[in-house]
Amino acid sequence: MAALLVHGALLGLGASTGRAQSGGVRRARTSWCRSAVRLAAGAGPGDLADDRGADGSEGGARSLDMALLSDRIARLRAAAAACDARALPLIVVDSLLPRQRLALSMDDDAGLALVRECVARHGGCVGVHGVHPVSRGVNPIGTQARIVERSGSKVELVGERRYTLCAQPVLQPGGFFVCELRWARPHAGSASDARAAEELEPLVARWQQLVRAGHERERGQLDALLADLGPMPSSGDADERALWCAALINPLPALGVAFEIRPAVLTADSVELRLQIVRGALERSIAHLDGSRPID
């Protein structure tokens, strides 16, 4: 399993997971709450076979089911292949999606030390987490981000790759916490997912039209956002299209015209659910923008 280094001084829940702060620069909080991170690290369903026989006896249990054992070994190997031996410092400040940019102010000694660690030893990469949409604890699903700009205590990150924490953080000498992580696998989705992703296209076009008609917070905001995100992924890559659309309507800094869906999109356990969340948010935002159903 890959290891994730967590800087204890920066793991906190003080930052909002809603709209960006004024100016788009968030301040990385330095409070640490051990009870915030509750991660399930146990075996998944079916990982452990029942050792009892059909009659409930221990004797029958001892006869090895080779087919079941082979299947378990194959699944464990597949899980190992999904991991990458990589260590990253971790901050908890806001949900971040791939392609999104996040400006942070690291204006204390711990934050500056973490930035130096990222640049010197981790290729400028850091793990970024927000708050789970249901439990309100730290979301175990995070995004690897890269430092692309740095000026004094201010840094700008770009989201790259999603992953899941697999265990409780373990404190290491020097004040770091270590967690295992599992990289998210790409999911193309089914034929029905591709159709659902195709149906997002006219909604995105309508949403952009309405935003340009007077809902940008500063001139050129949407154009700059689209330049950062790049072209919309094809409908055949339904999962990436859903993530792209969520990053569009929940940008950083915020436009303030859509409900926050990034934590829910990150934690959705299927492409179908991710697409449903994005479509619902797009339709609701359009209703707000055209005045038919304003968001209170």
Phi, psi angles (nearest 5°) of residue 22: -55, 135
Is residue 86 pLDDT above 70, yes or no? no
Name the average pLDDT for the chain. Answer: 76
27/21 Cα distance (integer angstroms): 9
Q: Does 125 share its domain with 175?
A: yes
116/132 Cα distance (integer angstroms): 28
Q: Does 12 share its domain with 142?
A: yes
- The number of distinct structural domains making up the chain is 2
Banded model confidence at residue 137, pLDDT cuts 50, 70, 90: confident
59 against 143, higher pLDDT? 143
94/161 Cα distance (integer angstroms): 15
Amino acid in the structure at residue 70: S
Residue 243 included in any domain: yes
Considering only CA atoms, which of 54, 145, 142, 136 is closest in space to residue 103?
Answer: 145
Residue 110 included in any domain: yes
* pLDDT per position as a tens digit, 149-189: 998 889 999 999 999 887 666 554 445 555 677 888 877 68
Is residue 129 pLDDT above 70, yes or no? yes
Q: In Å, what is the CA distance from 198 to each residue of 131, 188, 209, 242?
A: 30, 13, 18, 10
Eight-class DSSP state of 11: B
204 against 31, higher pLDDT? 204
Of 140, 160, 183, the position where a domain reaches its end is 183
Banded model confidence at residue 148, pLDDT cuts 50, 70, 90: very high
Beta bridge partners of 287: none
Q: Does 125 share its domain with 34?
A: yes
Banded model confidence at residue 21, pLDDT cuts 50, 70, 90: very low
Residue 57 included in any domain: no
Phi, psi angles (nearest 5°) of residue 42: -80, 175
Tell me the residue range of the domain where 165 lies: 2-40+83-183
CATH for 140: 2.30.130.40
Checking 81-84 for CB contacts under 8 A at 24+ apart, the result is 82/182, 82/183, 82/185, 83/1, 83/2, 83/181, 83/182, 83/183, 84/2, 84/183
Position 33 scores a pLDDT of 29
Q: Does 176 share its domain with 222?
A: no
* pLDDT per position as a tens digit, 260-296: 999 999 999 899 999 999 999 999 999 999 999 998 7
3-state secondary structure 81-119: HCCCCCCCCEEECCCCCCCCEEEEECCCHHHHHHHHHHH
Least confident interval from 6-10, 99-103, 187-191, 208-212 = 6-10
pTM of the model: 0.74
Of 183, 217, 243, the position where a domain reaches its end is 183
* pLDDT per position as a tens digit, 204-224: 999 999 999 999 999 999 999
128 against 70, higher pLDDT? 128
Q: Does 243 share its domain with 176?
A: no
Q: Does 175 share its domain with 195?
A: no
Amino acid in the structure at residue 187: H
Of 133, 150, 183, the position where a domain reaches its end is 183
Contact 12, 29 (CB under 8 A): yes
Q: Does 149 share its domain with 280?
A: no
Residue 222 included in any domain: yes
Beta bridge partners of 183: 163
Considering only CA atoms, which of 218, 280, 270, 220 is closest in space to residue 249?
Answer: 280
Position 50 scores a pLDDT of 32
Token duo for residue 37? 């991170």
Contact 108, 240 (CB under 8 A): no
Write out the DSSP string of 210-262: HHHTTT-SSTTHHHHHHHHH-SPPPTTSHHHHHHHHHHHHS-SS--SSS---H
C-alpha 28: how far from its chain's center? 17
Q: Does 284 share its domain with 235?
A: yes
Q: Does 233 share its domain with 128?
A: no
Q: Does 166 share its domain with 19?
A: yes
Specify the DSSP element, H or E, that contains 154.
Answer: strand 154-165
